[in-house]
A and B are shown apart, each in its own frame.
Chain A
């Protein structure tokens, strides 16, 4: 019995060796690892990253993407990334904000592997941070809502009152006010990023109290858009521009992330050995795009929105003083402004927003 076993073992080694040489012959020029906290077909955040990486693999020959879905924000993430490094990944995207600390640990151990994290914090030689700055782009959404509303009451559902979400709401209200002096934005906080039943309740409550346009900042816009559509209201989407499929009648427009150009650049840098971790924040025209308009949006409104978008791309910043908050105190003196790197710091609502931060 001993001989055959040894022969079998020898054959196995031989087979493995052959497989290895085969793999070497077709070895990809770059393996990219991507870690997602949820599912990649969520019509939202995770899908936006998955789609962009698929596009990178299509455009750059020799790039292979390995993906892991539903990776919790725990030590599991560290193990998954470590496994990706062992598989030869030289560029890793830990796509959830909470993957940060685990990614940094792995990055410390493997200085030859590049990491790009959508968030903030220090950059290192092999650790870059990036994000799409949506706040100023929401100004253009506000322009569309301000023109489309008949009740002059706009609704905005947010998961948690964090600075980034407040910034979205503030720019939205300022955009609406710029074309409609009577426009007010009512904020409802659900208390979680994915409490679907409460999102439905929040959308219903806003419609019950007279809002006719509803915007949102939650993980997936699907429930809110469908609830509003069923009751004949209008909606403005967020996270993925594909959400318009959910509202054939009431869709106005929306914002979505477009990571592809930035990812392409990073992948090329890694392949050329030129990667350097940086902090990259881009708004409209960079990592953020405006979704197609719905059928009910007249041409003159579309033009106003596109004009606002062009203005923003040229550097217009609505967060330039003087700005008064909704309690009447001046939060930004004349001349001062808030840049894309400070969007997480909002702790006030601008004049015209109906809501309370805490």
Chain B
């Protein structure tokens, strides 16, 4: 691989990996608490649409970002009301949430299709911008969300694995009955996990509309929510591995675009499959390992301990 190709792939991987990473981090927290939210695609769409609409109306991308996070959070709380409070089936509720997200995002975004916005400000340190190999790419010219992507992953990892709250969340994900018996409130912890997850999902969607594309179009996420769900499995429910996963998945997309831009004669449709192929390979390789297994109660409804 030549240098320009490598730099291009890296730059593209970081740009498209940012929203993947935030979405994956959010879903990781949720799944660690024992809930599967297949509606992540809908959350991303709501985040993208609300973020764009608020920015178009107020002219302030930061307000848009905040609104996107709040909207993502709210949508996940709705999911929580369904599956935690009402004990509805998680898979069905997740799919319903996804379709709800399609509809709501289209409704909210419709008046603002075609609006021109000033997106999140980007910043590149001057000493890096002076390097010629940096200038030719988008490297290091990032908005706040991209700069904070890896710190966010570290923070989520620390919260899940180094705090009492994280221990509680993981305990609920493994065995809500045992967590309940040891004095934790599974429902409360799941709602907290959903809030954090929805917030991150909203930010992920907002990154697409407020930074990467500066537009809103119906169904613009084009399956990124599902890639993020695959990434959670790929990274084995670990926020730090998710960083590598998001870069790899983002890189797969960037690689196929860069290869086309260089005139490579590999079929773009073949390259497009790479992320899903990687997930299948990871499942094949480490699918059975206990240490890397899914939370034991993932997807199960906790009916209380009586």
A interface residues (Cβ-Cβ under 8 A, vs B): 38-39, 41-43, 47, 69-70, 155, 186-192, 194-202, 204-206, 208-211, 219-220, 222-223, 226-227, 231, 245-246, 354-356, 358
Contact = CB atoms under 8 A, between A and B. Distances in A.
B272 A191 contact: yes
Interface in B206-263: 208, 212-215, 217-222, 224, 253-254, 257-258, 260-263
B147 to A, nearest CB: 17
Given A39-B113, A194-B220, A202 B261 contact: yes
B173 interface: no
Interface string B124-141: 000000000000111000
B215 A188 contact: no
Nearest to A46: B113
A200 B116 contact: no
Contact of B222 (A188, A192, A206): A192
B16 interface: yes
Contact of B12 (A196, A205, A355): A205
Given A205-B12, A219-B217, A197 B261 contact: no
A230 to B, nearest CB: 8
Interface residues of B, number: 43
B226 to A, nearest CB: 14
B170 to A, nearest CB: 32
Nearest to A224: B213
A204 B12 contact: yes
A8 B152 CA distance: 66
A201 B215 contact: no
B271 to A, nearest CB: 10
A39 B212 CA distance: 22
Contact of A204 (B5, B15, B222, B268): B15
Q: Which of A202, A209, A246 has the most CB of B within 10 A?
A: A209
Contact of B213 (A43, A188, A200): A200
A313 B257 CA distance: 36
A208 B220 contact: no
B267 A358 contact: yes
Given A39-B110, A200-B15, A205-B8, A188 B261 contact: yes
B110 A70 contact: yes
Contacts of A245: 116
A43 B269 CA distance: 28
A195 B222 contact: yes
Contacts of A231: 138
B149 interface: no
Nearest to B260: A188
B254 A205 contact: yes
Interface string B31-70: 0000000000000000000000000000000000000000
A41 B16 CA distance: 27
A201 B218 contact: no
Contacts of A198: 16, 222, 253, 257
Nearest to A208: B8
Contacts of B138: 204, 208, 231
Contacts of A208: 4, 7-8, 11-12, 136-138, 258, 261
Contacts of B268: 189, 191
7 contacts: A195-B220, A197-B220, A198-B253, A201-B257, A204-B8, A208-B7, A222-B215
A204 B261 CA distance: 9
A43 B258 contact: no
A199 B12 CA distance: 12
B213 A197 contact: yes
Contact of B257 (A43, A188, A192): A188
B222 A354 contact: no
Interface string B275-300: 00000000000000000000000000
A124 B208 CA distance: 45
Given A188-B257, A195-B220, A198-B253, 15 more contacts: A188-B260, A188-B261, A189-B268, A191-B268, A192-B222, A196-B220, A197-B19, A197-B213, A197-B220, A200-B213, A202-B257, A208-B11, A208-B261, A209-B4, A358-B269
A194 B217 contact: yes
Contacts of B16: 197-198, 201
Given A39-B113, A201-B15, A196 B263 contact: no
B116 A155 contact: no
B219 A194 contact: yes
A226 to B, nearest CB: 5
